[in-house]
Chains A and B, each alone.
Chain A
């Protein structure tokens, strides 16, 4: 492994680090509170796409709430994080864009829709949402003779990043709004973990070089018994920020990390990894947890048995 080259890529770190960072306690919301917020979101989203989302069938399960809405729309609320996703029920290949649109125009549309939904107004004093990335979902086709049509734009997705005290909260997109061709809302997902107000500790961030070394160390361990030429790339460089765990996981506090997306090229295979290391001396979050194993109940194929 060429760790020097990777260290260079990780070390091209541009973010300005605060001299001290707060370790923040996160707001703990009851399911009732989360459902109240979801009702508000359904109301404004329904208004935004001229649909009646006030009426719906609500079902509460242990870990999530499901709301079935008119015309195939549905919403799901994840109790562990308060994350929500609302899907409009539009057909996958319906309401396509009539022609490609400039990226700037799509971003403007996504930002305007976000404003309509009033999400900025729900943020606390030390929080903000900024545009991060535009995604486009496209489709294409070819016939038997190899004739290929021009790609069509099906959906545009504006991804936004939540910031707390000026620090981005890394992880899945904090907010993603998916637009259909008519400009209407097709999907919105929200995963924002907001602080309660309490600062648990005030700490210094580790130097970025220590973050980079931690990431290189993890890679060295993972590829310890790989013999041969392997290429590692870190196109976006290393990032610093608070971390939000995925939506089905509970989280008690916000603490900073260094994070990097690594692309690995082997002779025949490709691989992609996202690695995070703590950016503080003390460990606050369960980073890079060990993966699950296969279910113990499954039997061996060589024993000539099927699992069920």
Chain B
């Protein structure tokens, strides 16, 4: 079975007071995070941590080699769910906001390196625009063994209409859907334009000289531990391509 971690930030009053951001508080952060958490635990998966608000730190996902402590948190679990405000940099890096500076107010994905010798297979970020669809390769460095990054290429909506998304994603995962499908389907109600995207890396056989073997990709083959096949990690030296799948309406 899987070990998972959850981080959810609903309140941003410290960031606002410090003049770091004008972003408002979110409302349904914990509806989604609690739903995700309880559904996975109900299916026998082990929660390693669940941090909320100012207990969520940017160092939790920052690589240990770069002064972070991902080895103890995000890179110590198979599956990581985070909800906060986000966006991306001009070079395609993901960027997310925290409500306490440990040691920065924001995380930048050029400082992530997930999966190395540790555990992280899947990261799910319910956060706006952390993937630049015109520059997805800007995320390549995060895949040091990580299988799939699940995020958004534009806004993700915080609304009573999307408050069941966390439970829906987890429901899909524990009923044998692929991780990629679980994300796309779970955060989509086909009315609110949530812009889901899943990003993974593939080897030379998957790239196949540009005639992509989609059937070999993590998108097609990875399931949550205990609910189907999980492909082996792909170290950077064997990564020949980056693949992404998105919904647009």
Contact = CB atoms under 8 A, between A and B. Distances in A.
A301 B243 CA distance: 36
Interface centre among B8, B129, B214 (most CB of A within 10 A): B214
Contacts of A48: none
B31 interface: yes
A274 B165 CA distance: 14
A102 interface: no
Interface in A81-115: 87, 91-94, 96
B2 interface: no
Nearest to A146: B137
Contact of B97 (A246, A248, A268): A268
Contact of A272 (B158, B164, B239, B245): B158
Contacts of B22: 223, 226-230, 266-267, 269
A152 B217 CA distance: 14
Contacts of A275: 159
A298 B51 contact: yes
Interface residues of A, number: 79
A249 to B, nearest CB: 9
B30 A293 contact: yes
B216 to A, nearest CB: 9
Interface stretch (A29-37, A116-124, A128-136): A128-136
Nearest to B214: A93
B3 to A, nearest CB: 11
A215 B4 CA distance: 38
Interface residues of B, number: 85
A213 to B, nearest CB: 19
A18 interface: no
A6 interface: no
B16 A270 contact: no
A172 B191 CA distance: 5
B49 A74 contact: no
Interface in B208-227: 210, 212, 214-215, 217, 219-220
B27 to A, nearest CB: 4
A302 interface: yes
Contacts of B1: none
A66 to B, nearest CB: 7
B136 A142 contact: yes
A159 B51 CA distance: 36
B241 interface: yes
Closest 10 CB pairs of A and B: A274-B159, A294-B52, A272-B155, A172-B189, A93-B214, A173-B190, A93-B220, A272-B157, A270-B128, A176-B190
26 contacts: A74-B175, A92-B181, A93-B220, A135-B249, A139-B243, A139-B245, A141-B207, A142-B241, A143-B240, A144-B240, A149-B210, A152-B214, A171-B191, A173-B190, A227-B19, A246-B164, A268-B106, A270-B128, A271-B85, A272-B159, A274-B161, A294-B8, A294-B34, A294-B52, A298-B52, A308-B47
Interface of B: 8, 10, 13, 16, 19, 21-31, 33-34, 37, 47-53, 55, 57, 85-87, 95, 97, 106, 128-129, 136-137, 154-164, 167, 171, 175-178, 180-181, 184-185, 188-193, 202, 207, 210, 212, 214-215, 217, 219-220, 239-249
